[in-house]
């Protein structure tokens, strides 16, 4: 867990409320939204429900990782390199890439079937279940809340 | 004309290509648009057409002034105070306010009837003729091109 926790700590330092507010709210037009897949809105309540269904913690982390990697790409895709939030998103993308390297066992064999279906859907960009317009800050707020649920115990 | 020309010069310095690019393109999401009235898209070609109809120069300047005062308010309305383009828009608004003080004769008596109708429509926010989604930089590009047409001779 040690390397994993170091990356989580770096993510936590990068995803403080102050930074989310500045880069994802103040630097965007009022009410601006990004289109994401329905499944990419991964809230704390989704995690609670999946835990009630006895989904494994590895599966939940794989889900959170794949969802938020895609979310960051989608936010990054609406920004020009010279936008002041661009570098912030790139830094986060890089941390998620590092984290993905630690999760080589995020594959069909190790992840619960129902969660794997969602992971695949997110990664292939299959929008069969519809799109949702969500504010960038709300997306990163979800990312942080779920990160906290998944790692606060094991990365104290 | 002297005070008027000083304000136009200040506007010119504030509306350089570099600044329009930075504040109105780089600092906005890709393809972001602002809704404006159809009449608020005042292009160089509109001025040429109106001049062909022998509309007075005062009428054209009043039109340009009222259109762009509204356009700036609409761009400003999508920005939070902490957005990096907010102050830029406020500075421009202030210069347009100063300019408006020099145009006390922009009234129904002095402005050609057909132009006055448009001015009134723009100022009352009457969207009877429909709205148009336009990129902020395109709006300020129009502002600059028309400013050049209206003032380059008299404010050399």
**Per-position DSSP letters for A48-111, written without gaps between them:** HHHHHTT--HHHHHHHHHHHHHHHHHHHHHT--TTSTTHHHHHHHHHHHHHHHHT-TT-STTTS
pLDDT at B124: 82
Question: Domain limits at A119?
Answer: 2-151
What is the DSSP code (8-state) at residue A128?
A: T
pLDDT at B1 over 80: no
pLDDT at B156: 81
Mean pLDDT (whole number) for B101-123:
89
Asked, for residue A137, whether it belongs to a domain, the answer is: yes
Axis-axis angle for helices B2-14, B136-151 (nearest 10): 150
pLDDT at B126 over 80: no
Percent of chain A's residues with pLDDT above 90:
83
What is the rounded average pLDDT for all residues in chain A? 94
pLDDT at A79: 98
Asked, for residue A156, whether it belongs to a domain, the answer is: no
Measure B28 CA to nearest chain A CA, in Å. Answer: 7
Asked, for residue A146, whether it belongs to a domain, the answer is: yes
Residue A71 structure tokens? 């979310």
Element (H, E) at B41: none
pLDDT at B58: 94
pLDDT at B125: 78
Mean pLDDT (whole number) for A108-118:
89
**CA separation for the pair A74, A29 (Å, rounded):** 17
pLDDT at A18: 98
Element (H, E) at B37: strand B34-37
Residue B138 structure tokens? 């395109």
Axis-axis angle for helices A57-77, A44-52 (nearest 10): 160
pLDDT at A82 over 80: yes
- Identify from B27, B34, B35 which residue to disrupt to test chain A contact, counting A C-beta atoms within 10 A and taking the largest count: B27
B92 touches B65 (CB < 8 A) = no
Chain A residues whose CB is inside 8 A of the B30 CB are 77-80
In sequence order, what are the residues at sequence separation of 6 or more whose Cβ sits closer than 8 angstroms to the Cβ of residue B146?
Answer: B42, B43, B44, B46, B47, B64
Number of domains in chain A: 1
CB contact under 8 Å between B29 and A28, yes or no, is yes
Gyration radius (Cα) of chain B, Å: 15
Which residue blocks in B57-110 are alpha helix, DSSP H?
57-77, 86-101
Mean pLDDT (whole number) for A38-64:
95
Residue B131 structure tokens? 């709205």
Mean pLDDT (whole number) for A110-114:
90
pLDDT at A1 over 80: no
What is the rounded average pLDDT for all residues in chain B? 94
Residue B149 structure tokens? 């047409």
- CA dist list (Å): A134 to A47, A93, A131, A138, B31: 19, 19, 9, 7, 17
pLDDT at A55: 95
pLDDT at B100: 95
Which CATH number covers residue A18? 1.20.1250.80
> What are phi and psi for residue A111, nearest 5 degrees?
-100, 140
User: Which residue of chain A is at minimal alpha-carbon distance from B21?
Assistant: A82
Percent of chain B's residues with pLDDT above 90:
82
3-state secondary structure of B34: strand
Taking alpha carbons only, the member of B117, B139, B120 closest to residue B25 is: B139
Asked, for residue A140, whether it belongs to a domain, the answer is: yes
Asked, for residue B54, whether it belongs to a domain, the answer is: yes
pLDDT at B136: 98
**CA separation for the pair A89, A84 (Å, rounded):** 10
pLDDT at B25: 98
Residues B48-83 have pLDDT tens digits of 999 999 999 999 999 999 999 999 999 999 999 999
Measure A20 CA to nearest chain B CA, in Å. Answer: 13
pLDDT at B120 over 90: no
User: Which residue of chain A is at minimal alpha-carbon distance from B31?
Assistant: A78
Asked, for residue A27, whether it belongs to a domain, the answer is: yes
Q: Does residue B1 or residue A89 have the better pLDDT?
A: A89
Residues A118-156 have pLDDT tens digits of 888 888 877 677 899 999 999 999 999 999 999 999 998
Asked, for residue B156, whether it belongs to a domain, the answer is: no
The pLDDT confidence band at residue B5, using thresholds 50, 70 and 90, is very high
Measure B31 CA to nearest chain A CA, in Å. Answer: 8
**CA separation for the pair B152, B147 (Å, rounded):** 8
Question: Is ipTM > 0.90 here?
Answer: yes
pLDDT at B128 over 80: no
pLDDT at B54: 93
Asked, for residue B32, whether it belongs to a domain, the answer is: yes
pLDDT at B118: 87
């Amino acid at each position: 867990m040690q390397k994993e926790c170091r990356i989580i700590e770096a993510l936590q330092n990068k995803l403080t409320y102050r930074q989310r507010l500045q880069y994802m709210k103040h630097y965007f037009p009022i009410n601006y939204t990004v289109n994401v897949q329905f499944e990419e809105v991964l809230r704390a309540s989704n995690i609670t429900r999946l835990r009630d269904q006895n989904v494994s913690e590895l599966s939940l982390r794989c889900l959170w990782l794949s969802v938020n990697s895609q979310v960051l790409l989608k936010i990054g895709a609406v920004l020009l390199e010279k936008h002041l939030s661009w570098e912030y998103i790139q830094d986060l993308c890089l941390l998620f890439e590092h984290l993905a390297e630690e999760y080589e066992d995020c594959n069909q064999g190790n992840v619960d079937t129902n969660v794997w279906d969602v992971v695949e859907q997110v990664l292939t960009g299959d929008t069969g279940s519809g799109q949702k317009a969500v504010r960038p800050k709300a997306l990163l707020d979800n990312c942080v809340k779920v990160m906290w649920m998944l790692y606060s115990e094991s990365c104290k």
